[in-house]
Amino acid sequence: MSATPMSSPAAEFSAAQAVAAGTDFAELKAGEQGLFWNEFRPADGACRIWHWRDQQAHCLTPDGFSVRSRVYEYGGGSFCLTGDGLAFVNENDQQVYLQALDGTPPHRLTQHTDCRYGDLLWHAGEVLAVEERHGSHVEHRLVAVAEGRRDVLAEGADFYATPAISADGCRLAWIEWDRPHQPWTVTRLMCRERDASGAWGAPHCIAGGAESLQQPRFDAQGRLYCLSDLDGYWQPWGEVDGHWQHLPSAIADHAAAPWQLGPCTWLALGPQSYLASWFEDGFGQLWLRSNTGEMVRYASAYTRFRSLAMDAEHIYAIAASPISPPAVIAIDRSNHDVQVLAGGAQVLPAAHISTPQPIRYASGDSVAHGFFYPAMAGGTPSPLLVFIHGGPTSACYPVLDPRIQYWTQRGFAVADLNYRGSSGYGRAYRQALHLRWGESDVEDACAAVAHLASRGLIEPNQAFIRGGSAGGYTTLCALAFHQVFRAGASLYGVSDPEALGRATHKFEGDYLDWLIGDPLRDAERYRQRTPLLHAGRIKVPVVFFQGELDAVVVPEQTRSMLDALIANGIEAEGHFYPGERHGFRQAANLAHALEEEWKFYCRVLGR
């Protein structure tokens, strides 16, 4: 007998509660003045800096400000600590502000209204930053900004990231890359040194070629280190005994794809010593390696770690686990005790939480990865909802996601997929989507249904698929070119990749060429993989959710797809949100979209 969604003891877990539980954190910083982090709360959609000191946290960001960079559109590195406070990027005008800790209002530092700033770093009275200037075309530089002064530190490359400076101020390092590459395909590690007069010498390349480098670090002695995927995974490399070499490390990715500026998944401590998080089968681990080679693991209950920081007594991280949402944690280095400083509040009773089971399954001539969440209500086999993450060079993680729990409480199993092209499984897996977008990812989504059905876990005739942005594209391709799913949901999803390529921003200006091909030379391939041109092949219901201010996937693209389906007599509906951009942020809209998606599937199932 086919299973249908039904209520569980926790079915009162509403869409509004799922959204409210979506508080997240970013960019943790530790300094002499205490611990600082950036906190996003869906209730008002703002990002605010919080300060932890003397066992108490309080918000530093006054009303009217939101701390968020939009460099490369995805931002990151939106604040840094200064000598007596912090510097931050205000979301509204994208300018840098200085803020003391004495309660005085923030003071605007930059006056360049045609510029955006990100990846902030403070040194010797200056803010170092990636500058994005918008004019007749978009330009990027590394700059140093002080009161009434702006100096260019590096220019000429198409993109810059992660400025790092040695403790004595004599060495400056950064990551740069040029079109058509992305930061997860080919980058360069660059460095400048000061001469005897204190002036910066010419930039020179430390490493780069057929590799992706990220997160450069200096140790206390001024030696330079970086993560490189030259040997197949993002692992630590560094200057040891005068040579650039691979440090002893786990054969695993020590970082995710750097979609945003300012990630910190490792810290260099000495010639052979570092603190790092890495992924094993998609699960994050946190370890400290000493110069003697001793390895010590911390906080084993958590499965994802971001924004690492440390001082003499504690290791700090933004961490999450299968039963707890993101939290700011402090780990005692001597006894390993973990203290939750913010977040991590119980979303559901532990007995009612569906926890992730890693899956590895055959797909085409390869394998794919993901996590399976059993339904918490109803019988087995159960209906299945396949989650497709965006990016597509991004990843999903085995941590508590209130949205997933919303579905499992209502009788759906969830498959959260890291299809080929996702990060966290090495360079070869990440590169597997090259020229295969709309094929390999779709193949992996369909194969997941077959795999779970063969194990008797789901009802294959009640499989649904959903995704946002790039995940929406995979969703629409799966519905158009395969007869596997009962219905689907596209959240600001791509239905016309060629149109997206014409309108996209500089950071992704060549990404579609890498994913599909040259739009002129490979026009037929684009035609074959454009859902909008094949809307007539979709025979199942589809629901769309779209922000009216979206500049990445413009509303007209979604409306065209919706209209085409309705004209073909397919059950389809669209929900358009006037105040939303690419990716929803307003709590009411997030809750409305989740609930309407649930109602849509219920109608499809005849409930």
Q: What is the DSSP string of 546-574?
A: EETT-SSS-HHHHHHHHHHHHHTT--EEE
The confidence score (pLDDT) of residue 428 equals 98
Q: What pTM did the predictor assign?
A: 0.94
- C-alpha distances in Å from residue 362, one per residue of 261, 369, 445: 34, 9, 11
- C-alpha distances in Å from residue 188, one per residue of 175, 211, 505: 6, 8, 22
- Whether residue 158 contacts residue 510, with contact meaning beta carbons closer than 8 Å, is answered with no
- In the beta sheet, which residues pair with residue 132? 116, 140
Report residue 41's pLDDT band, with 50, 70 and 90 as the boundaries. Answer: confident
The confidence score (pLDDT) of residue 2 equals 45
- In the beta sheet, which residues pair with residue 489? 466, 543
Residue 524, classed as helix, strand or coil, is helix
Q: At 422, which amino acid appears?
A: S
- Is pLDDT at 387 greater than 60 in this prediction? yes
- Whether residue 272 contacts residue 293, with contact meaning beta carbons closer than 8 Å, is answered with yes
Helix (H) or strand (E) holding 175: strand 171-177
CATH assignment of 349-482+530-544+556-571+584-604, among 3.40.50.12780, 3.40.50.300, 3.30.1050.10, 3.40.50.1820: 3.40.50.1820
What is the rounded CA–CA span in Å between residue 545 and residue 566?
15
The confidence score (pLDDT) of residue 11 equals 54
- C-alpha distances in Å from residue 505, one per residue of 70, 149, 437, 467: 12, 29, 19, 21
- Whether residue 67 contacts residue 88, with contact meaning beta carbons closer than 8 Å, is answered with yes
Strands (E), 349-486: 357-363, 366-373, 382-388, 413-418, 458-468
- Is pLDDT at 467 greater than 60 in this prediction? yes
> Could you write out the DSSP letters of every residue in 226-295?
EEE-TTSS-EEEEEETTEEEEPS--SS-SS----SB---SEEE-SSS-EEEEEEETTEEEEEEE-TT--E
What is the rounded CA–CA span in Å between residue 412 and residue 383?
5
The confidence score (pLDDT) of residue 71 equals 97
- C-alpha distances in Å from residue 291, one per residue of 288, 294, 547: 10, 7, 51
Average pLDDT over residues 253-257: 98
Average pLDDT over residues 521-530: 97
